[in-house]
Amino acid sequence: MRQYIPFLPVVAIYGTLFLTGLLLEGMWQPMALLAFYGALGQVFNIFLGLTGYVDFGYVAFLAIGSYGMAIAASSLYEDLGWWIVPTGFVLAFIMASFLSIAVGAIALRLKGAYFAIATIGVSEGLRYLIEGTGLWGGSMGIIVSRPLREAFGREGANSLSTFWADSILYGIALVAAFITLMILKSRAGYAFLAMREDEEAARVMGIDTTRYKLLAFFISASLGGLIGASAWTLKMNYVFPSDVFDIVYTIEAIIIVLLGGSGTLLGPLVGGLVYGALKYWLAVTFPGLQLLLFAPLILVIIVAFPQGIIGILRERMGSAFRGVIL
Amino acid sequence: MRVILDVKGVSKGFGGVQALRDVDLEVRAGEILGIVGPNGSGKTTLFNLISGVYRPDTGRIIFDGVDVTSLPPFRRTVLGIGRTFQIPRPFKRVTVMENVAIGAMFGSSSVGVEEGFRVAEGYLKVFGLWDKRDRDAESLTPVERRLMEVARALAGRPKLLLLDEVMAGMPPGELDGFLSILREVKVREGIAVVAMVEHIMRAVKDLAERVVVLHQGRKLVEGPTREVFMDKRVLEVYLGRT
Ligand SMILES: Nc1ncnc2c1ncn2[C@@H]1O[C@H](COP(=O)(O)OP(=O)(O)OP(=O)(O)O)[C@@H](O)[C@H]1O
Ligand SMILES: [Mg+2]
């Protein structure tokens, strides 16, 4: 039982966000935005945080997942009815995991910067492939509002978009956090720890580093596919390649993980909260200027505190408490 | 005695430098073999070939009946080859305890997390690092780092342990203690130890039953320790340099 204790603060924070959104007038959307950033960070952390490798093409997995849901919804709604949503999640998961295995098997053999460049190439390449060949509606994308209305009725489709799509993100964030905790506590967690410090020495100590990297990449990517399916297709009811392949989401994911504390359990959650709140606050207080202020501010924070918020807390607490905050 | 490691005619070049030329080496189960030779004679390169950091240009490496010549390092470790690094490579921002536990978890013993920490506890106590178990490894002195690397390698329960100048810089008082621990562990675990202790001849003479001398990438002499150190060619190589 004791090993699950670090999970309690995670449940408490997401629970508080969820209830605040539910109970306070006008707070659902702001809380849902925080949950989105939390989920994005939590899921991306499983790869970046555990392996130390930066995937600049990560958004491709969200994108492919959003297509998975859109394909299921637009082509199967007549046969499946409301089952298109679970089917869509399964398809999103499968498509994202296949992409991750294909990309990972090749790109994960590359080191550091080469890996980063290769992954950008894959993401941009996939987008041009879709736009250029007209695959899945090409640059016109897929619009799923009608299929969803037919399957769920007007009311149902509306609550799917304004309530369920957001709620599912809380669920994905919790699942991702739980998986992170399980990994950190297992042999795999120590394999990642060793690998981040010195990959060659880790291999000499008996660790199959490529296998562990692929494992983290796979988990992170397939959960990312679920985020895409929910946050894009179900929430917006459309999928346009120019939106879902936007590199901004990759950059936000990187910032959230670094800000909160890479490779920690609570880091991406705290990072997501701080990032989301700061972005929201700047947009309200300095409308129009937010990006101008935001980018340098974030950069300064990350350069000044590379271990992130949770990393600093853990250092301050000393080794005896390291097990408490993960 | 059974041959645990059979290195057959390995060569390795780096650009213009031929680090090893056609070297044969046999290590028998449970023995302690010393490898000596002047700086740059290819000792570390030989370890890198055996542990899989590099692949040889020619030749084969057979470990415990398995041809490991083209296996990646982690597979060799799981089969039972453990090593230390001449320039220690601890996982720096990881505690001393965790470093050694990682050795146990992924070595040929492949134990779970809890068992890994239990094994680590034993070796930390043996090597006098127990009091520093919760410190990050980067806070250790160079000598402590070497001891930790030996503990980390042993925790994986190797059948063959490659020690690359672990005794360098060790104060004479500690050296004797270290040598007797090594002999004891060797007997208890039944492992073969290959140690290169180039600069501390006393340690080689004390520890090794057999010695191989490398010179400019070739095997110069091989034999029982006493005889090797009386060999003319060896005296020339060593006394000629120092
Ligand atoms: N990775 C490498 N790249 C280029 N040259 C190398 C490399 N590793 C070893 N060498 C060269 O190979 C030769 C043998 O080096 P090696 O480190 O094996 O010697 P050594 O016997 O361990 O020496 P020392 O006693 O100084 O540790 C040297 O000339 C060295 O410069
Ligand atoms: Mg050397």
In DSSP notation, A50-71 reads: HH----TTTHHHHHHHHHHHHH
> Is residue A225 a part of any domain in this protein?
yes
CB contact under 8 A, A207 and B74: yes
Residue of A89, A65, A99 whose CA lies nearest to A171 = A89
Q: Residue B66 pairs with which residues in a beta bridge?
A: B63
Most ligand 1 atoms within 8 A of CB, residue of B10, B11, B12, B14 to mutate: B14
Q: Are A14 and A35 in contact (CB under 8 A)?
A: yes
Cα Dmax for chain B:
53
- Say yes or no to pLDDT of A322 above 60: no
> Is residue A294 a part of any domain in this protein?
no
- For residue range A3-23, what is the model confidence (pLDDT) as tens digits? 888 899 999 999 999 999 999
> Is residue A171 a part of any domain in this protein?
yes
Helix A28-51, helix A7-23: angle, nearest 10: 160
Q: Which residue of A has its CA nearest to B116?
A: A187
- For residue range A224-258, what is the model confidence (pLDDT) as tens digits? 999 999 999 999 999 999 999 999 899 999 999 99
Task: State whether ipTM is beyond 0.90.
Answer: yes
- Say yes or no to pLDDT of B197 above 80: no
- Say yes or no to pLDDT of A320 above 60: no
Q: Please give the residue range of the domain that contains residue A120.
A: 15-247
- Say which range, A49-63, A73-87, A140-154, B49-63, has the weakest mean pLDDT: A73-87
CB contact under 8 A, B94 and A193: yes
CB contact under 8 A, B98 and A201: no
- For residues A66-77, give the mean pLDDT: 93
Q: DSSP strand E in chain A: where?
A: 142-143, 238-239
- What is the reported pLDDT for A16? 97
- C-alpha of residue B42 to centroid of ligand 2, in Å: 7
Q: Which residue of A has its CA nearest to B99?
A: A194
Amino acid letter, residue B149: E
| Banded pLDDT at A284 (limits 50, 70, 90) | confident
Beta strands B160-164 and B218-224, pairing class: unpaired
Beta strands B58-63 and B3-14, pairing class: antiparallel
| Banded pLDDT at B242 (limits 50, 70, 90) | very low
> Is residue A50 a part of any domain in this protein?
yes
Alpha-carbon span B233 to A284, nearest angstrom: 83
Helix A165-185, helix A209-228: angle, nearest 10: 170
Could you give the C-alpha distances from A277 to A15, A281, A282, A289, B140, in angstroms and in order? 17, 6, 8, 16, 42
Query: Which strand (E) or helix (H) includes residue B60?
Result: strand B58-63
Neighbours of A285 (CB within 10 A): 10
> Is residue A281 a part of any domain in this protein?
no
- C-alpha of residue A267 to centroid of ligand 2, in Å: 42
The number of domains in chain A is 1
> Is residue A141 a part of any domain in this protein?
yes
Q: Residue B150 pairs with which residues in a beta bridge?
A: none
- For residue range B66-91, what is the model confidence (pLDDT) as tens digits? 999 999 999 999 999 999 999 999 99
What SS3 state is found at B194? strand
pTM to 2 decimal places: 0.92
The alpha carbons of chain A give a radius of gyration, in whole angstroms, of 20
- For residue range B102-154, what is the model confidence (pLDDT) as tens digits? 999 999 988 999 999 999 999 999 999 999 999 999 999 999 999 999 999 99
Q: Nearest by CB to B106, which of A186, A191, A198? A: A191
Token pair 């988990």 is found at A219
- C-alpha of residue B219 to centroid of ligand 2, in Å: 15
- What is the reported pLDDT for A140? 92
Q: Residue A253 pairs with which residues in a beta bridge?
A: none
Q: Residue B23 pairs with which residues in a beta bridge?
A: B10
Which residue has the CA at smallest separation from atom 24 of ligand 1?
A: B39
- What is the reported pLDDT for A323? 56
Q: How far is A224 from chain B (nearest CA, A)?
A: 29
- For residue range A260-275, what is the model confidence (pLDDT) as tens digits? 999 999 999 999 999 9
> Is residue A291 a part of any domain in this protein?
no
Q: Are B113 and A185 in contact (CB under 8 A)?
A: yes
Of ligand 1's listed atoms, the one at least distance from the Cα of B46 is 18
Could you give the C-alpha distances from A182 to A172, A230, A322, B91, B144, in angstroms and in order? 15, 24, 16, 22, 32
- C-alpha of residue B230 to centroid of ligand 1, in Å: 27
Q: What is the dihedral of CA A144, A148, A153, A154, to 10 degrees?
A: -40
> Is residue A145 a part of any domain in this protein?
yes
Establish if B186 touches chain A: CB-CB under 8 angstroms: no
